[in-house]
Structure 1
Amino acid sequence: MPGSLEPLDIGVHIPYHFRCPISLELMCDPVTVCTGQTYDRSSIESWVGTGNTTCPVTRVPLSDFTLIPNHTLRRLIQEWCVANRSFGVERIPTPKQPAEPNLVRTLLSQASSGSAPFSLRVSALRRLRGLARDSDKNRSVIAALNAREILLSVVFADVVSQPSELNLESIAILSMFTLSEPECLYVASDPDRVCYLVNLLFHSSIDVRVNSAAVIENVVAGIRSPEFRTQISCSDGVFEGIVGILSYPVAYNRALKVGIKALFALCLVKQHRHKAVAAGAVEALIDRLAEFEKCDAERALATVELLCRFPSGCAAFASHALTVPLL
């Protein structure tokens, strides 16, 4: 990264005013605070995020935490990078600006308005999904505006009819957030809502299936009530749906990651582990073990260990042709 290059490494001196006063590195996204001082966005956000309330340079209290992009300085830094390309300096990219709260508020209002045209609501949700996908900062802005509660109401407004584009877009956004316990209980306490999510595990689109699995995992992991965890894990088809994601022929990294997290969360409920075994969970995990990233492989093995506490799980594990070669 350009910001990590030291002067001695590249044979050129980085101008003092191009360096962040906090990190002392080349700024990639310069922003100005209310005191008039400019910092790299990531550095000042970390400074404020750890509880500091003063300007690092002037020590004056920050009366306003708004960060204003310094476009002029950023363009000067980019020009300097280009001029010093021969010394190994890479041009800093133009950063995407965080979502404006007013824009997010408008999009949420449009998406949740029952009187708005269907196409407008879907369009608003797509824009929200794009913003949420862009950065953690955007997700923080969206979450701060009561988005999760609004999206849950959109998703479960009608759990009888076939899911519409409106529902699927809302679930796609929800899958990027961690739900609070009251929000998890809102889902888990209603069998129709749980059934709705489970049915989506068999949707024709693998993306829809993965998004639904992510929400299910979120709900199971976010509730402390053993009763509700048990209700979800005993839902007809839930294990088959999750195993189906893990067994999907062209499963991409997110599908595998979400699938194993959801399966592990469900298998923590002892009473229904036999359902996971019957759904082919052991075989699916062994088949995919070599494709998991390290942390997911560890979770997969922990899940297999839980399932092997049942005779049927042990039998499935012992009879798989890849068990010995992989382990």
Structure 2
Amino acid sequence: MRRDDLYITVPSFFRCPISLDVMKSPVSLCTGVTYDRASIQQWLDSGNNTCPATMQVLQSKEFVPNRNLQRLIQIWSDSVARRQVEADSAATSVVVPSQDQVQVLVKQLDNNCFSSLAKIVCFAKESEENREFLARMDGFLNAVFDFMRNADSDIKLIEQVVKILDLMSSKILDKKPLLESNCLSTILLVLQGGCLDSQIQSVRLLESIAVDGESMLKIAEKDGLVSELVKSIRKEKDPRLIEASLSCLIAITMPKRIKTKLVQSRTIPELKNLVSEPNTTVSIIEKSLKLLETLSSCKEGKAEIWHDTILLQAIMKKVLKVSSKATEHAVTILWSVCYLFSDEKAQEAVVSSNGMTKFLLLMQSNCSPAVRQMSADLLKIFRVNSKSCLSSYDTKTTHIMPF
């Protein structure tokens, strides 16, 4: 343990009652007491049939993951890491270098690369003018690209490079070097082992280089990259990382081949968790529904959503509850699954979630023409009584396709 760690106060309920260490994977027994999975598993494997804290005889040896506590521990751990980084930065008292000093630092990158890169990051953060200066500097971007291509296992060094590229992304006119396999491997390395801020920066960097179909395919076809992005939208992750990863996935998911790959990578169950979570932010719900809408436009995605009654009900609950943008995405998904696919089981799930009332309200609201038309289409297939208020509504208007 480092000396600095002695000054970090760990909340008592973050510690496992058996090992007294911060829990990595908290699970709860039937007695309601939470332990770290490894510790309680070892206790039970040793032949014990009691709860270590209460000594009650266990009616069941099964345990349930404590997701809320795991999320709290993750947030606390990240905040501790950030404070440590801030303390280290304050201790080093880095002064923003001048333009002349930056030119010297660029020439010295090979000799003292970490220190030089850290100072260049400070320079780039300072102003838009500084970032433009770096972009115009002969050989600077090529030197940074070389770092990406030839990155070794020094994750701290790689994180500095990713920081610079994230700051400079709008100034990089030719993004092709970043699509090279070695560069994408470096970004993947940060996603897998970097700190939270670096992970977010690497995801934003990926989104910035997904400018056309070719670049989207290169990103999606890089082994491990899509699966790592999908891991980054798990509900126990930091909301900032979830939001950045959702934006990136939306950006790369235009080609049909990528939609299919995302479905195969178990993206829809992760989106279901986000949409069903009561404390999810508005922005994350909107992006989750947008990605579900995109995936519902391919056969594989549509079929998976159609088979999941709980997901359909969760989507229906977001209509008129979150925002106009979320409502539009939700209605489009339901229209795609229930109207185009015409599945009775999916239709029953929507009707059971008060769907008919909500679609009637939508048609009378100030929603977009596309949403109004899709609502009318959905009401028609739910066999609304002809004497209802829909009898005077003209549904023969030119249909507005949402895709």
Residue 201 (structure 2) aligned to one of 162, 169, 176: 169
Q: Does 1:275 align with 2:304?
A: yes
1:276 deviation in Å? 1.9
Cα 1:119–1:271 change in 2 (3 A) is closer
1:259 deviation in Å? 1.4
The number of aligned residues is 220
Q: Which residue of 1 aligns with 2:75?
A: none
1:269 deviation in Å? 0.9
Separation in 2, partners of 1:300, 1:148: 35
Q: Does 1:304 align with 2:334?
A: yes
Unaligned runs of 5+ residues in structure 1 are 1-94, 133-138
Equivalent residue of 1:255, what SS?
A: helix
Separation in 2, partners of 1:167, 1:270: 32
Separation in 2, partners of 1:206, 1:213: 10
Q: Which region of structure 1 is more displaced relative to structure 2, 307-316 or 196-205?
A: 196-205
Separation in 1, partners of 2:244, 2:329: 20
Q: Which residue of 2 aligns with 1:183?
A: 215
Separation in 2, partners of 1:246, 1:173: 26
- Contact between 1:172 and 1:208, CA under 8 Å: does it hold in 2? no
- Contact between 1:111 and 1:120, CA under 8 Å: does it hold in 2? no
Separation in 2, partners of 1:163, 1:323: 47
Residue 209 (structure 1) aligned to one of 242, 245, 249: 242
Q: Which residue of 2 aligns with 1:241?
A: 270
Separation in 2, partners of 1:249, 1:199: 20
Residue 231 (structure 2) aligned to one of 174, 192, 199: 199
Separation in 1, partners of 2:321, 2:129: 35
Q: Does 1:114 align with 2:147?
A: no
Separation in 1, partners of 2:231, 2:156: 25
Residue 313 (structure 1) aligned to one of 320, 330, 346: 346
Separation in 1, partners of 2:178, 2:345: 40
Separation in 1, partners of 2:222, 2:166: 26
1:255 deviation in Å? 1.6
Question: Please, what TM-score do these two structures have when normalized by structure 1?
Answer: 0.55
- Contact between 2:250 and 2:291, CA under 8 Å: does it hold in 1? yes
- Contact between 1:107 and 1:125, CA under 8 Å: does it hold in 2? no
- Contact between 1:201 and 1:212, CA under 8 Å: does it hold in 2? yes
Residue 292 (structure 2) aligned to one of 248, 260, 263: 263
1:264 deviation in Å? 1.0
- Contact between 1:246 and 1:285, CA under 8 Å: does it hold in 2? yes
Separation in 1, partners of 2:153, 2:228: 24
Separation in 1, partners of 2:290, 2:173: 23
1:115 deviation in Å? 4.3
Cα 1:265–1:163 change in 2 (3 A) is farther
Letter in 1 for 2:205: I
1:170 deviation in Å? 1.0
Structure of larger gyration radius: 2
Q: Any residues of structure 2 matched to 1:274-293 within 5 Å, and which?
A: 274-277=303-306, 278=308, 280-293=310-323
- Contact between 1:110 and 1:124, CA under 8 Å: does it hold in 2? yes
Separation in 2, partners of 1:286, 1:114: 47
Q: Deviations over 1:218-243 (max 9, x none)?
A: 2221x2xx4553233233x2101122
Q: Does 1:126 align with 2:163?
A: yes
Letter in 1 for 2:131: A
Cα 1:171–1:314 change in 2 (3 A) is same
1:176 deviation in Å? 4.6
Question: Please, what TM-score do these two structures have when normalized by structure 2?
Answer: 0.46
1:263 deviation in Å? 0.8
Separation in 1, partners of 2:130, 2:324: 32
Unaligned runs of 5+ residues in structure 2 are 1-126, 363-403
- Contact between 1:274 and 1:310, CA under 8 Å: does it hold in 2? no
Q: Which region of structure 1 is more displaced relative to structure 2, 239-248 or 291-300?
A: 291-300
Separation in 2, partners of 1:291, 1:111: 44
Q: Which residue of 2 aligns with 1:47?
A: none
Q: Which residue of 1 aligns with 2:102?
A: none
1:317 deviation in Å? 0.7
- Contact between 2:309 and 2:349, CA under 8 Å: does it hold in 1? no
- Contact between 1:113 and 1:121, CA under 8 Å: does it hold in 2? no
Letter in 2 for 1:311: E
Separation in 1, partners of 2:278, 2:177: 34
Q: Deviations over 1:19-73 (max 9, x none)?
A: xxxxxxxxxxxxxxxxxxxxxxxxxxxxxxxxxxxxxxxxxxxxxxxxxxxxxxx
1:111 deviation in Å? 5.2
Separation in 2, partners of 1:204, 1:147: 30
Higher RCO (CA-CA < 8 Å; seq separation 6+): 1
Q: Which residue of 1 aligns with 2:172?
A: 142
